[in-house]
Amino acid sequence: MINKAPLLEIKNLCTEFITANGVLHAVDDVTFSLLDREALGVVGESGSGKSVTALSILRLFGPLDQVVTTGQILFEGVNLLKLSDAELRHIRGRQIAMVFQDPLTSLNPVMPVGEQIAEMLRYHCDLQRAVARRRAQELMELVGIGEPARRFDDLPEQFSGGMRQRIMIAIAIACEPKLLIADEPTTALDVTVQSQVLMLLNRLREQLGMALMMISHDLGVIAATCDSAQVMYGGRLVERGKIADILHHPNHPYTAALLRLVPRIDGALLRKLSPIPGQPTPILGSWRGCRFAPRCEFAHDRCQSDDPPAFTVGTDHVSACWLAEERSASMNKGVHHEGHEEHAPTFILPRGTRGRKEEGEI
């Protein structure tokens, strides 16, 4: 990795929603950083706080949401939480762009798609109308939409889901942001289109030199696009590491359980997927101990009472689990020790280990 200050540094971020039923800790003391041009995957089930982390970065809450955000979100050294709304608007779209989950509803239904790209260029890059139109067509070409001149004035309803997500991506990259946040960009698409969109994101990231924060519940998606991954559970960051480490040597029991849930094409025919017993931790009100303890097969007394801090368990590999403490200690003594050994499904391969010939399909 490039050795310099991180592009995005999040320190002790807590995002709480004040609701009628009490305080909802959507993101609870999360710290991580993202280097320039790095691709980071954020994995977790619904309600794990992965999307709210992204929304917190750009402060994308509704006017009626009562949100308390504490901690620091440093983007190129500037704390975004301290910026005024007007100052933040200059970051949104221009420096940090976002692609949303559902391409069917994230485009304005009564505005020609080309116009929606051009609007972005006119607004943020101060381009003239004609120049913006030309550039928008180039962007449409770039994201793989044929005959952009003819399709410029088409309405979103004339495009398929995958095409609309390409348009969304074109809007997001229009101003060449330094960071692209993709919030489950492929969840609403079918599998073949999914892989095309992921390949497109990879290609654009390399061409434009963006950093990528990919939010997904799908480890396959993360593996296909990211250099490193972090796993969230109940608003907490439970494990972070290089993608290969997370997939092949998961340390946290939750990560290990998630990996067991991925169906394997080479697995035994009658192998059953083992769902994680129980329900996700309610994040309403206060909580003592590890969030995952009630569902964890390795939980012991300490997990119920004390919050596990993040232990370093390998190079760039941290895990917030009391079981990792021992390993962390032994690592410091120089003893190599493997925890839960898991074999990643073969179709989930880290970036770079898979053949790149899929590129041609775009």
Partner 1 sequence: MAVIIGAPTNHKSETGGVPAPAVRRFTSWSLVIWMGFLLGIAVFALTGSDLAPYDPATQQVLARLLPPLSSSSRGFHWLGTDQLGRDLLSNMIAGARLTLFIGFVSNCAGMALGVALGMLAGYYGGAVDRFVMRLSEAQTAMPMFLVAIFFLTVLGPTVLNVVIILPTLIWPAFARLVRAETMRLRGCLFVEAAVASGSTDWGVLWVHILPNIASRIAVLAVIELGHVMLAEAGLSFLGVGVQPPATTWGLLIARGRAYLAVAWWLAIMPGIMLGLTVLALNMLSRRFATLSGTAA
Please state the closest distance from residue 226 (CB atom) to partner 1, in A. Answer: 21
Nearer to partner 1, 60 or 276 (CB): 60
Nearer to partner 1, 112 or 294 (CB): 112
Q: Distance between CA 91 and CA 77 in Å, rounded?
A: 13
Please state the closest distance from residue 43 (CB atom) to partner 1, in A. Answer: 22
Residue 207: C-alpha distances to residues 81, 142, 173, 184 (Å): 30, 10, 11, 22
Nearer to partner 1, 98 or 257 (CB): 98
Please state the closest distance from residue 26 (CB atom) to partner 1, in A. Answer: 16
Please state the closest distance from residue 108 (CB atom) to partner 1, in A. Answer: 5
157 DSSP assignment: G
Please state the closest distance from residue 99 (CB atom) to partner 1, in A. Answer: 8
Nearer to partner 1, 84 or 286 (CB): 84
Nearer to partner 1, 53 or 328 (CB): 53
| Tokens representing residue 341 in the block | 């050994």
| Tokens representing residue 211 in the block | 């950093």
Q: Which residues bind partner 1 (CB under 8 A)?
A: 58, 60, 62-64, 89-94, 97-98, 100-102, 105-111, 119-120, 123-124, 168, 171-172
Nearer to partner 1, 95 or 196 (CB): 95
Instruction: Quickly count helices (H) and strands (E) in the chain.
Output: 12, 12
Please state the closest distance from residue 103 (CB atom) to partner 1, in A. Answer: 9
Please state the closest distance from residue 83 (CB atom) to partner 1, in A. Answer: 13
What residues are paired with 98 via a beta bridge? 181
Looking up tokens 């559902």 gives 102
Nearer to partner 1, 152 or 254 (CB): 152
Nearer to partner 1, 113 or 310 (CB): 113
In 3D space, the residue among 274, 278, 273, 256 whose CA is nearest the CA of residue 323 turns out to be 256
Q: Distance between CA 127 and CA 125 in Å, rounded?
A: 5
Please state the closest distance from residue 41 (CB atom) to partner 1, in A. Answer: 20
Determine contact, residues 98/177, Cβ cutoff 8 Å.
no
H helix intervals, the chain: 50-58, 85-91, 113-125, 129-142, 148-151, 161-173, 191-208, 219-225, 243-248, 253-260, 301-305, 323-332
Sequence letter at residue 61: F
| Tokens representing residue 210 in the block | 């963006």
Looking up tokens 């979100």 gives 73
Determine contact, residues 124/152, Cβ cutoff 8 Å.
no
Nearer to partner 1, 41 or 177 (CB): 177
Q: Distance between CA 90 and CA 191 in Å, rounded?
A: 35
Please state the closest distance from residue 93 (CB atom) to partner 1, in A. Answer: 4
Q: How many CB atoms lie within 10 A of CB 323?
A: 22
